[in-house]
Amino acid sequence: MGSVKPKSPTSHPAADTSEPRDNILPNVGRIVSLGFLWGSHARQNVDAGPFHSSQDWMSSRLAFARNDCEKLLAKFRTEEGRGDDRKREIIQIESTQVIISKLEGLVHRLFLRTSQLPEPTMITHDDLNNHSIMVNDNGKLMGVLDWACVSALPLWKACYYPRFLQGPSRFSISDIKMYEEIESESDEEGFGYFSDLCEWETIISTTDIHC
């Protein structure tokens, strides 16, 4: 598990430099997903991969969460003023630390190591939203953007709906004429209808609702 990048044909002493670059398998290196880069994460002494198992990957993510809590807790404990707000912040952070400790104790039970190491992975685009998908006027897929922080992650990550299929739940859609009456004096005529239609189609795409 980690970020995929081209492997240089000269990166291995036994490599045949005459081999076409198209035949060279990519290399999985240190992970560069956003969760490993936010704030001071890139400078922290936390393993950034490549990871051989879900257990190792989750352990690093929890380590970042613990470090973030400790940093915030130190800040609020030395901060003056704010009274009750400061106390509430400290209580919330301490509660989060308790949750992190419990999760750290469960990682080895929830993500069992198998004989198949490294664990199988898949390329996962963790921000596949409506703004990163390009289609033409006929609705044909033309391309997907924003691959900069995409990583090879565990297969179970494929069980999550992509971002463009997540959002508010709308189980019915009214007749467009109703929207036309409401929006007749608006500069954004039709926006409300098509926004609601998108939410409704998202639900249809992710459930067993029959119309």
| Same domain? 35 vs 74 | yes
Range of the domain at 189: 167-211
What pLDDT does residue 21 have?
Answer: 60
* The pLDDT value given to residue 94: 95
Based on the fold, state whether residues 56 and 37 are members of the same structural domain.
yes
Instruction: Indicate whether 114 and 183 sit together in one domain.
Output: no
The helix-helix angle for 54-78 and 83-110 (nearest 10°) equals: 170
Beta bridge partners of 116: none
**HSE (side-chain half, CA atoms, 13 Å) at 185:** 1
What is the Cα Rg of the chain in Å? Answer: 24
Residues 32, 97 within the same domain: yes
Q: Same structural domain for residues 31 and 116?
A: yes
Query: Same structural domain for residues 38 and 94?
Result: yes
Residues 75 and 125 in one domain: yes
> Which residues pair with residue 133 across a beta bridge?
144
Domain limit, last residue, from 119, 136, 160: 160
Q: How many domains, in total, are found in the chain?
A: 2
pLDDT < 50 stretches in the chain: 11-15, 187, 189-190, 209-211
Whether this prediction's pTM lies above 0.85 is answered by no
Pair (76, 42) in one structural domain: yes
Q: What is the pLDDT of residue 18?
A: 53
27 and 128 co-located in one domain: yes
Q: What pLDDT score was predicted for residue 81?
A: 64
H or E stretch at 3? strand 3-5
d(CA 65, CA 189): 45
